[in-house]
Amino acid sequence: MIPDFDQCYRAVESRDARFDGWFYTAVRSTGIYCRPSCPARTPFRRNVEFFPTAAAAQRAGYRACKRCRPDASPGSPEWDPRGDVVARAMRLVADGVVDREGVSGLARRLNYSERQLHRLLVAELGAGPLALARAQRAQTARVLIETTDLRFADVAFAAGFASIRQFNDTVREVFAATPREMRARGTKRTEPGSVTVRLAARTPFRGDEVIEFLAARAVAGIEEVGVGTYRRSLTLPHGPAVIALAPGPDGVIGTFRLADLRDLTAAVARVRRLFDLDADPVAVTEALGRDPVLAPLVARRPGLRVPGQPDGFEQLVRAVVGQQVSVAGARTVLGRLVERFGKPLDAPDGSLTARFPEAAVLAAAEPGDLPMPGARARGLIGAARAVADGDLVIDPGVDRAELRARMLALPGIGPWTVEYVMLRSIGDPDAFLAGDLGVRRALEARGLDGSPRAAEAHAEAWRPWRAYANTYLWTE
């Protein structure tokens, strides 16, 4: 829900970038909608109205500002702590589910009828699932028009439009320019076969610490870390990909090599989760900075993010392998799994040679095939079968309570594993690993009882940001 009118207008007057993505400012006299931080002259109050989403502003007939590019602002952090159906729907729309499966597929995933879902989204967001997906397609089209030399027919197909006419009409309505005009003023072209996108984050943003976290856990064959850059292979809905990510002070520059350009939307959504780009660091700092245990850590590292994971099944495997072993030991085992069960890339890309093993492949393995103790191997195979059979779905649109219950019901899967998956793959900001050794040591170093029960008691004051508290304690 957007703040009240007066608070929104004050944010616009002060050009407060913290509210970018929270709401959009539409100006009746110009027919344009902007970010709150737009550098243009502040419009008169009588000419302004506010919308919770870019799609709602577009649906009301407004065009995107060419100066502040509101379509490229950080996503609303509101969807991170919320687990209701609207928040789950928004996360799935951002992942491209409507383009791939239609509104019926989105509704089916959420266990709602299409009519119920449409009514809920319009009531809260001012736009239904088709309008939300249309706004996202327009953003994808803009990126492809301005950063590649693709034919416009290919851009339309890659962005998810049903026809060239629909593509042309949407681009003109949303950006008040033709595709040809947008390409003429576009940015420098990237190398053939790749798309480079700047992904904005709210500041402060400590992307370098996300890189450090990923570097310590990088698995040979699917990940590599250079100076300030993280590269990895991915399996996306339409094929393989290799991504290169370089964080800066206010976001990440991502270069995507995609087998199918239709996967750009899904790839961007996964990178945003990986670097926690839609977080609200101000809210986290205000909440955790009041706690005497965490205040010194927060003061030293404002803007710390919770590193994510772009693939739910991969994170589950990493969590199972990482039970009761060191980070280095888990990385070694995972490297062996990739070497034996991973799907080779068509051509090696530097040190990247494969993709992470698919659930169906590990589900068919025997416990003796896996380089780990038998009980853990059986637990991993059982989890892989549940994912391969569709009994266990790990994606940002799932019901969090239901997913926790389903994972805990699997043999060999305990609370630590479940919370680690929720923290890194689902992006639940309130996930907390009470029994984690690093958490225990950090609390004991501050003269506190680090037992799981005591850690849970300490963590009650950190809701709904316990995942961030967890990450701060790991940095101790």
Q: Are 174 and 63 in contact (CB under 8 A)?
A: yes
Nearest C-alpha neighbor of 197 from the set 132, 241, 162: 241
Task: State how far the Cα of 55 lies from the Cα of 131, in Å rounded to an integer.
Answer: 6
Beta partners for residue 223, in sequence order = 232
SS3 157: helix
Q: Is 436 a catalytic residue?
A: yes
Catalytic residue among 8, 34, 38, 68: 34
Q: Is 68 a catalytic residue?
A: no
Long-range contacts of 341-350 (CB under 8 A, 24+ apart): 341/365, 342/221, 342/222, 343/235, 343/240, 345/233, 345/240, 345/242, 346/240, 349/231, 349/233, 349/242, 349/257, 350/224, 350/231
Beta partners for residue 50, in sequence order = 25
Task: State how far the Cα of 303 lies from the Cα of 308, in Å rounded to an integer.
Answer: 15
The dihedral over CA atoms of 23, 27, 31, 37, expressed in degrees to the nearest 10, equals -50
Angle subtended by helix axes 114-125 and 85-94, to nearest 10: 90
Q: Which residues of 443-470 are buried (b: 16+ CB within 10 A; e: fewer)?
A: beebeeebebeebeebbeebebbbbbbb
Sequence-separated (6 or more) residues with CB below 8 Å from residue 395: 92, 95, 312
Task: State how far the Cα of 281 lies from the Cα of 96, in Å rounded to an integer.
Answer: 26
Which residue blocks in 194-311 are alpha helix, DSSP H?
Answer: 207-216, 264-274, 281-288, 295-300
The dihedral over CA atoms of 26, 27, 30, 33, expressed in degrees to the nearest 10, equals -20
Task: State how far the Cα of 19 lies from the Cα of 282, in Å rounded to an integer.
Answer: 11
Catalytic residue among 263, 280, 428, 436: 436
Long-range contacts of 211-218 (CB under 8 A, 24+ apart): 211/247, 213/307, 214/307, 216/327, 217/318, 217/327, 217/330, 217/331, 218/331
Residue 192 vs residues 67, 185, 328, 354: alpha-carbon distances, Å: 28, 19, 37, 22
What residues act catalytically? 34, 436
